[in-house]
């Protein structure tokens, strides 16, 4: 049952990103699509810079909610 709930959250997140919205994460990081690429900002360290995310990294984040450091 939890898997179905997580899949629904993933679908909502991807719809928000595709429609030009921005996801704000718990730690104030934001994700958005820019020029057909996924970009992330880390405001506590680099408030004015965006970093690209690979497709594999984005899928893992949307599925599991965590990234590999």
- Please report, for the chain, the start and end positions of each structural domain, with discontinuous segments joined by +: 28-61
> Across-strand partners of 50?
41
Residue 50 near residue 39, CB atoms below 8 Å: yes
Which pLDDT value is given to residue 4?
41
Residue 62 near residue 53, CB atoms below 8 Å: no
Q: Which residue has the higher pLDDT, 52 or 62?
A: 52
Torsion angle of the four alpha carbons 37, 29, 2, 55, in this order, in degrees rounded to the nearest 10: 20
| Prediction pTM value | 0.41
pLDDT in tens, 20-55: 666 666 666 666 666 666 777 777 777 788 777 777
């Amino acid at each position: 049952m939890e898997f179905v709930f997580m899949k629904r959250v993933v679908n909502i997140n991807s719809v928000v990103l595709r429609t030009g919205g921005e996801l704000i994460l718990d730690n104030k990081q934001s994700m958005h699509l820019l020029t057909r690429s996924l970009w992330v900002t880390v405001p506590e360290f680099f408030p004015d810079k965006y970093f690209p995310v690979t497709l594999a990294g984005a899928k893992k984040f949307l599925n599991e909610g965590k990234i590999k450091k």
